[in-house]
Amino acid sequence: VLAIWHQLTKYEIPELKKPSVIMRDRGRVEEIIRNMHGAGPGALQVISDFDMTLTRFAFNGKRCPTSHNILDNSSLISEDCKAKLANFPKSHYYPIEIDSSLSVEDKVPHMVEWWTQAHDLLVQQRIKKDQLAKAVRESDAMLRDGYEVFFGSLKDHSIPLLIFSAGLGDILEEVIEHNGVFHPNVRVFSNYMEFDKNGLLCSFKGQLIHTFNKREGALLNPDQFEQLQDRPNILLLGDSMGDLTMADGVQNVQNILRIGYLNDKVEERRDAYVGSYDIVLEKDETLDIPNAILRYIT
């Protein structure tokens, strides 16, 4: 049996030999992928995080922006507000978000504080809806290498791509649109802006989504998952430990393969990631592995 398993890596998906790939249990990964291949693209759905999963973490040694950072760095934010953002809150809250020594329960109140402050600050900036596209165009946001193949093959095989993001929905939709890959099979659940009759940002809609309540969001929106219930195989992509539970709203899951991008604090977090994600991609700025797996399944 072992020999068969390793054949998959050896012949069908040689990309799994890439040095950035770490697996807790290669045999199990190969078994899941084989099951997904057997059931075909009609049984598959992809559930993915956005920031730092579909977008690059860094390019030429420089950090790439999250959907929040795109606005923070744009001309839509006053200099005064930028000065505030430069010292706080990111430098305070981001280390808490990625600290592997803290429990999720410990982190949650800090995340709620961070997101609430960020949303409040944005609302104070009187941002206009029709300026968002320009902010995205002028930003350094980049989808990961191989994104055309990724979005394109999901579209070609009518595989739903569900993006579950704690970022800013209006902004990330612009990023996808700007790159020409907002195909009809893509659906986004995120924090969306509410605009007044003059087109000015006045609040955020619905329940706040932060890094560690994606599971609740998934469970609270069963209707969003309804049309996906007949697709029992899930390829899940994330970069945070909070992304691991994004698929909890799907019932009758038969096979789930969780791929985690380990972008930052690699040494400190490697064990936790390898213990939780089926495949860990360490400092890998590409979609090569998801693409190779999709090529084999479809």
**Residues that bind ligand C5P in the complex, under the rule CB under 6 A:** 49-52, 66, 68-69, 90, 94, 97, 114-115, 118, 165-167, 211, 240
Report the distance separating Cα 247 and Cα 249, nearest Å.
Answer: 5
Q: Is 285 in the site for Mg ion (CB under 5 A)?
A: no
- How many residues at the interface with Mg ion, by CB under 5 A? 5
Q: Show contacts of 6-10: CB within 8 Å, 24+ apart.
A: 6/30, 8/33, 8/34, 8/296
Contact 21, 292 (CB under 8 A): no
**Residue number with CB closer to ligand C5P (31 or 264):** 264
- Amino acid in the structure at residue 139: S
**Where are the extended beta strands (E) located within 181-254?**
186-191, 193-195, 201-204, 233-238
Interface pick for Mg ion out of 44, 52, 172, 293 (rule CB under 5 A):
52
Nearest distance from C-beta of residue 286 to Mg ion, angstroms = 16
Could you tell me which residues come within 8 angstroms of residue 198 by beta carbon, excluding any fewer than 6 positions away? none
Nearest distance from C-beta of residue 66 to ligand C5P, angstroms = 4
The SS3 of residue 14 is helix
Q: Is 97 in the site for Mg ion (CB under 5 A)?
A: no
Q: Which does residue 291 bind out of ligand C5P, Mg ion, none, counting CB within 5 to 8 angstroms by kind?
A: none
Whether 106 is a known active-site residue: answer no
Whether 49 is a known active-site residue: answer yes
Q: Which does residue 278 bind out of ligand C5P, Mg ion, none, counting CB within 5 to 8 angstroms by kind?
A: none
**Residue number with CB closer to Mg ion (246 or 292):** 246
Nearest distance from C-beta of residue 53 to ligand C5P, angstroms = 6
Report the distance separating Cα 220 and Cα 34, nearest Å.
Answer: 32
Q: Which residues bind Mg ion (CB under 5 A)?
A: 49, 51-53, 239
